[in-house]
Amino acid sequence: MEIHCAMTLGEKLKKARINKNFTQEYLAEVLNISQKTYSNFENGKTKPDFSQVEDIAKALEVSVLDFLSSDGLSFNYDNVQGGNNGFIYQSQLPEKLIEQYEQRLKDKDTEIAFLKQLLDKK
């Protein structure tokens, strides 16, 4: 028997917000979105896009990866006599989010190269 205890993105957002003692209203204002929109993120009714996740992580001073990893604590009870019982930590990012993150990194590298060229011309 295996029990998976994975926190949803909304649960992670709420936990991080509460840890900072921020209200939904305050965080929504910082993010320039409505409180209802932010509430929908926490309640899992809608999901923020990648740039919004980055903005939320920055506002809450946490890593983007904290929100994007699909934390799963998998408790394995197959061997009730002992031995391999315990938990296995699983962390995987959805492929699309990895691609978006990698693209943003490439875009940043391109922008840095361009700015360096401008500086070299002076």
Pairing of strands 72-76, 2-6: antiparallel
Instruction: Give residue limits of the domains in the chain.
Output: 2-91, 93-122
Considering the domain delimited by 2-91, tell me its CATH architecture.
Answer: Orthogonal Bundle (1.10)
Question: 22: Cβ–Cβ under 8 A, 6 or more apart, which residues?
Answer: 59, 60
* CA–CA dist 31, 85 (Å, integer): 43
* Proportion of the chain in helix, strand, coil states, percent, rounded to 5: 55, 10, 30
Contact 43, 55 (CB under 8 A): no
Global pTM reads 0.55
Write out pLDDT tens, residues 83-122. Answer: 444 434 444 556 777 777 778 888 888 888 888 888 888 7
Axis-axis angle for helices 9-19, 50-60 (nearest 10): 20
Write out pLDDT tens, residues 54-76. Answer: 899 999 988 888 777 764 433 33
